[in-house]
Amino acid sequence: MALSGLDIYKLLPKTNCKECGFPTCLAFAMQIAAKKVELSKCPYVSEEAKQALESASRPPIKLVTIGTGEAKLEIGNETVMFRHEQTFYHPAGIAVLVEDTEDASRIDERINKINKLHFERVGQQIGVNLIALRCSSGKKETFTELVKKIRLRSVTESLNLILMSEDAEIIKAAASLCKDRKPLLYAATKDNLDAMVAIAKENSLPLAIKAESLDELSELAQKAVSAGVEDLILDSGNKDISGKISDLTQIRRLALKKTYRPFGYPTIALSSAGETYQEITEAASYIAKYAGIVVIKGVEPWEVLPLLTLRQNIYTDPQKPLQVEPKIYEIGQVTDKSPVLVTTNFSLTYYTVEAEVEGSRVPCYIISSYAEGLSVLTAWAAEKFTAETITKSLNECGIKDKVSHKEIIIPGYVAVLSGKLEEESGWKVRVGPKEASGLPSFLKSLNK
Amino acid sequence: MSVELLKEKWSNTINTLTIGGTGTRTSKVTVGGESTLPYLFNEGDIPNKPVIAMEIFDAEPVDWPEVLKEPFKDVFKNSAEWAKKCVNEYKAELLCLKLQGTHPDFGNASTDKAAEVVKSVLEAVGVPLIVLGCGNDDKDNEVLPKCCEAAKGENCLFGDATEKNYKTLTAACLADGHNIIGESPIDINIAKQVNILISDMGFDINKIAMNPTIGALGYGMEYAYSIMERARLAALMGDKMLSMPFICFVGNEAWRAKEAKGPQAEHPEWGTEKERGPVWEATTAVSVLLAGAGILVMRHPKAIEIVRGTIERLMKKG
């Protein structure tokens, strides 16, 4: 049973030393009870207290790390079922499969493509996190050759590894070649559990547990834990998409709502679709619905970019909106006569405006004025998008060197700013449409 | 040892909305009726699968990229032919006619012309029909009542009614027996308010669909996704004024995304646009399906084919 904040407080040193980052021991205790922080943040906690608190202080879903260094993947430690309740914290890892039965040139080609699956979107770097090496040959030598080959290619250092085989001997040989990269071993099943657990334990590697049902999964996870493996990844087996979503939901829900320890680990889901397009939509479903790692075969950018983008969307903190860099954006072949529009630096607002301006085919400058990433009306109401802030942007962004006129178009919703803005900035203000969708016709009418 | 599953029990079900099935319609589609979160079959009923409406226009679309235009090049000039192509060639079970050409900026077609187009589409095909105005309130209030009348008895779905402009369309749909779409700008409170305003005029709540206004994948999709999840949770917990099925304009949004329509010459790192566009539309569609969408309005035949396959897979009871 989970302990209350007061129960936990009784076990703490009660010195209010603040080294945990909280003002008092009581405040720290409350945070532990709410599963927001780990007990290890307290440097003075006694062994006794540690044991008593062990279960209460552990987050309901363990944070598991695969790989080492900067590109390591951390998954788990989620706290909610729906992103609007708080946020989803650790973006699902996206893994691309490479099989040892493919011929050498195909493997090289795939690796080359996988290495290119990194993109920049809305100011963030997004990319594939793992390469899943599957022993489809059933032969130890073939598989270890593949692992060696991957090792030799220093370019793949930014990708973490999954070693896939249910033959413990093969996994053992492969793991010995790359344990310094901290690969995920996939997978322990009811038939090989002891041997796989021994390899994971000996090398301190994360271990995936694969079962055919939730019952079996729970049983195997408990066995692995009691044998001393700490970092597990759960796989409830191949199902139809809805069955898989249901399993992933149960695993997450039982871990969060019931502190059900056997399911207190991140999950992995393999796409079961035989066909490219269905693989994409299936993987998309698992990214949205709780998978910690999703394994796909696709290596083309048009297959992978939508999934990386979906992950970026789903794991965006709803409380911290994505922002674009506040600066001048040039849309189309702008000249010194082109219209100048201003909006806020909330990325959704900015990109909506940008898309409409692009659609209008009227070259324009868009100034994204810093407004703490709020939308136009919200920023205006919060006084983050005012005559003063817009004037500041106009003065600092360098637009004066780019255009020969002094006219600025503001969003229709803040028409009320016109007078003040003209006064502050010395620019002539023209009021644009309220909705971005009105921009194409508005911009076209300017040209007449 | 067996795991004791933790199943959610809900007190309410989503409304059931039927389009078509009357007048000269030879088929109907029914959405809604769920008593569980999306695709959790072991926690409640999901009696109806989500449906895809193929979007057609009354005039050649102005902003479609080449990849999207290609399949429809031969039928742009004639909405009835366009409708037939969707039904015969692409097996559409529902159509969505957008009267974009009535917009003052995009042709300003007359009310009579618009009503004629609606009639011609109804004559050309037997599947149920969604009819959308052009988005200009004044023009829509002039055009849509005539179109409602022209489609009287066909149990169409008309849209969109908004918080500021709902009375004319609600009255027209009421008079001519149509369903109505209530639109809100990614805002759960306004969504509810619009539903209340419409139902306060004596409109059957089972004839309302909710348009939560989605963003494309990568362009604010997650805002709509969370609004939809919140609305769906509220509905299942008992809020009748948020229990309407969602209609999501996937094609309209997805094809504005750079990743969908940007030419390969400008974005070589993204791969071929022939695949990229449809896949962007399909992924946007599947995202909103997982948040509970009931009707998807889509454009590219390839994207539609993909999503149809995925719906089939999602609807298999685990």
Return the residue in B267, B287, B317 with the most chain A beta carbons within 10 A, the one to mutate for interface testing. B287
Query: In this predicted model, what pLDDT tens digit does every residue of B11-61 receive, in sequence order?
Result: 999 999 999 999 999 999 999 999 999 999 999 999 999 999 999 999 999
B290 CB burial (10 A radius; 0-12, 13-18, 19+):
buried
Helix, strand, coil % (nearest 5) of chain A?
45, 15, 35
Please state which of the ranges A42-51, A110-119, A202-211, A234-243 shows the lowest mean pLDDT: A42-51
The pLDDT of residue A375 is above 90: no
Give me the pLDDT at residue A46, please: 85
Q: Do strands A407-410 and A364-369 pair parallel, antiparallel, or not at all (unpaired)?
A: unpaired
Give me the pLDDT at residue B193, please: 97
Token pair in block for residue A228: 């001393």
Cβ–Cβ pairs < 8 A, chains A and B: 169
- Name the residue facing A241 among B215, B276, B314 (closest C-beta): B314
The pLDDT of residue B77 is above 90: yes
Selected residue with higher pLDDT from A317 and A323: A317
Residues comprising chain B, all counted: 318
DSSP H or E segment with residue A31 = helix A25-33
Selected residue with higher pLDDT from A156 and A64: A64
Rounded to the nearest 10 degrees, the angle between the axes of helix A347-360 and helix A439-447 is: 50
Name the band, by pLDDT with cuts 50, 70 and 90, for residue B256: confident
* Secondary structure (3-state) at A117: coil
Give me the pLDDT at residue A57, please: 65
**Distance separating alpha carbons of residues A367 and A436, to the nearest angstrom:** 14
The pLDDT of residue A1 is above 60: no
**What value does the mean pLDDT take over residues A214-241?**
96
**Distance separating alpha carbons of residues B112 and A224, to the nearest angstrom:** 73
Task: Please tell me what DSSP assigns to residue B64.
Answer: -
Query: What domains, with CATH codes, occur in chain A?
Result: 5-57 (1.10.15.40), 64-314 (3.20.20.20), 328-446 (3.40.50.11600)
Name the band, by pLDDT with cuts 50, 70 and 90, for residue A39: confident
CA angle A189, A191, A193 (to 5 degrees): 55
Strands (E), B136-272: 157-161, 179-183, 208-211, 246-248
Q: What is the DSSP string of A362-394?
A: --EEEEEE-STT--HHHHHHTTSSSHHHHHHHH
CB distance A16 to A25 below 8 Å = yes
Give me the pLDDT at residue A55, please: 67
The pLDDT of residue B175 is above 60: yes
Selected residue with higher pLDDT from A294 and A70: A294
- Name the residue facing A253 among B6, B257, B287 (closest C-beta): B6
Name the band, by pLDDT with cuts 50, 70 and 90, for residue B74: very high
Token pair in block for residue A293: 């790692």
Q: By percentage, how much of chain A surpasses pLDDT 70?
A: 98
CB distance B297 to B90 below 8 Å = no
Strands (E), B133-226: 157-161, 179-183, 208-211
What separation in angstroms does the CA of A26 have from each of A8, A14, A17, A21?
A: 8, 8, 11, 12
Cβ-defined contact of B315 to A277 (cutoff 8 Å)? no
Query: In this predicted model, what pLDDT tens digit does every residue of B80-111 receive, in sequence order?
Result: 999 999 999 999 999 999 999 999 988 999 99
Biggest CA–CA distance in chain A, Å, is 80
Q: What is the DSSP string of B235-293?
A: HHTT-GGG-SPEEE-HHHHHTTSHHHHS-TTT-GGG--HHHHHHHHHHHHHHHHHHTTE
Give the amino acid at A175: A
**What value does the mean pLDDT take over residues B143-170?**
97
**Distance separating alpha carbons of residues A204 and A68, to the nearest angstrom:** 13
**Distance separating alpha carbons of residues A38 and B190, to the nearest angstrom:** 40
Task: Please tell me what DSSP assigns to residue A71.
Answer: T
Return the residue in A118, A286, A313 with the most chain B beta carbons within 10 A, the one to mutate for interface testing. A313
Query: In this predicted model, what pLDDT tens digit does every residue of A253-270 receive, in sequence order?
Result: 999 999 999 999 999 999
**What value does the mean pLDDT take over residues A204-233?**
97
**What value does the mean pLDDT take over residues A276-296?**
98
Return the residue in B45, B310, B311, B317 with the most chain A beta carbons within 10 A, the one to mutate for interface testing. B310
**What value does the mean pLDDT take over residues A172-199?**
97
Give me the pLDDT at residue B11, please: 96
Query: What domains, with CATH codes, occur in chain B?
Result: 29-314 (3.20.20.20)
**What value does the mean pLDDT take over residues A361-366?**
94
Residues in B touching A242 (Cβ below 8 Å): 39-41, 313-318
Q: Do strands A328-331 and A268-270 pair parallel, antiparallel, or not at all (unpaired)?
A: unpaired
**What value does the mean pLDDT take over residues B204-223?**
94
CB distance B313 to A282 below 8 Å = yes
Cβ-defined contact of B219 to A352 (cutoff 8 Å)? yes
Give me the pLDDT at residue A438, please: 87
Residues in B touching A305 (Cβ below 8 Å): 259, 270-271, 276
CA nearest to B229 within chain A: A82
**Distance separating alpha carbons of residues A423 and A275, to the nearest angstrom:** 62
Please give the ipTM for the structure prediction.
0.97
Selected residue with higher pLDDT from A388 and A47: A388
Give me the pLDDT at residue A327, please: 93
**What value does the mean pLDDT take over residues B280-309?**
98
Give me the pLDDT at residue A155, please: 58
